[in-house]
Amino acid sequence: MQTINIGLFGFGTVGSGLAEALCSQHERILRRSGLSLKLTKIAARSLSSLPPQLAGVELVKDADALINDPSIHIFVELIGGIEPARTCILKAIAAGKHVVTANKALLSQHGKELFAAAAAKGVEVGFEGSVGGGIPLIKALKEGLAANKLLAVMGILNGTANYILTRMTEERLPFAEALREAQRLGFAEADPTYDVEGIDTAHKLAILMTIAYGMNISPQQIATEGISTIEPVDIEFAREFGCRIKLLAVSRDIGGAVEARVHPTMVPTAHLLASISGANNAVEFCGDLTGSIILSGAGAGRLPTGSAVAADVIDIARNIAAGAVGRVPALSYLPEQIVDRPIAPLSALSCPFYLRITALDKPGVLAKIAAILSGHGISIESVIQKGRRENEPVAVVILTHTAKEEAVAAALREIDSLDTVAAPTVRIRMLGEE
- pLDDT at res. 292: 96
Round the CA-based radius of gyration of the chain to a whole number and report it.
Answer: 24
Q: What is the pLDDT of residues 142-192, one digit of tens each?
A: 999 999 999 999 999 999 999 999 999 999 999 999 999 999 988 888 999
Catalytic positions, please?
Answer: 204
pLDDT of residue 392 exceeding 90, the answer is no
How distant, in Å, are the alpha carbons of 95, 155, 216, 227, 305 from that of 210? 27, 16, 6, 25, 21
- pLDDT at res. 271: 95
The whole-angstrom separation of Cα 434 and Cα 431 is 8
At position 170, the amino acid (one-letter code) is E
Q: Residue ranges per domain, the chain?
A: 2-133+302-332, 137-298, 347-430
The whole-angstrom separation of Cα 151 and Cα 137 is 16
Q: How confident is the model at residue 39 (pLDDT cuts 50, 70, 90)?
A: very high
- pLDDT at res. 432: 76
pLDDT of residue 387 exceeding 70, the answer is no
pLDDT of residue 382 exceeding 90, the answer is yes
Annotated binding-site members: 104, 189
The whole-angstrom separation of Cα 358 and Cα 396 is 6
The whole-angstrom separation of Cα 262 and Cα 429 is 11
Q: Shortest CA distance to 330 belongs to which of 32, 25, 82, 113?
A: 113
Burial 26-63 (b: 16+ CB within 10 A, else e): eeebeeebebebbbbbbbbeeeeebeeebeebeebeeb
Q: Which residues pair with 423 in a beta bridge?
A: 358
Q: Of 116-125, 296-305, 380-389, give the lowest mean pLDDT range.
A: 380-389
List, as one string, the DSSP characters of 156-222. Answer: E--HHHHHHHHHHHHH---HHHHHHHHHHTTSS-SS-HHHHTSHHHHHHHHHHHHHHHTEE--GGGS
- pLDDT at res. 278: 95
Half-sphere exposure of 103 (CA within 13 A, CB side): 25
pLDDT of residue 434 exceeding 80, the answer is no
For all residues of the chain together, what is the average pLDDT? 95
Q: What is the pLDDT of residues 50-107, one digit of tens each?
A: 999 999 999 999 999 999 999 999 999 999 999 999 999 999 999 999 999 999 999 9
Output the CATH code of domain 2-133+302-332: 3.40.50.720
Q: What is the pLDDT of residues 395-415, one digit of tens each?
A: 999 999 999 999 999 999 999
Percent of the chain with pLDDT over 90: 92
Q: Of 214-228, 356-370, 387-401, 408-422, give the lowest mean pLDDT range.
A: 387-401
The whole-angstrom separation of Cα 304 and Cα 299 is 8
pLDDT of residue 251 exceeding 90, the answer is yes
Q: Where is 15: in which H helix or E strand?
A: helix 13-24
- pLDDT at res. 363: 86
**Predicted TM-score (pTM) of this structure:** 0.95
Mean pLDDT for 117-124 is: 97
Residues making up the chain, counted from first to last: 434
Q: How confident is the model at residue 210 (pLDDT cuts 50, 70, 90)?
A: very high
List, as one string, the DSSP characters of 395-406. Answer: EEEEEESSEEHH
> Has domain 347-430 been given CATH number 3.30.450.20?
no
> Has domain 137-298 been given CATH number 3.40.50.2300?
no
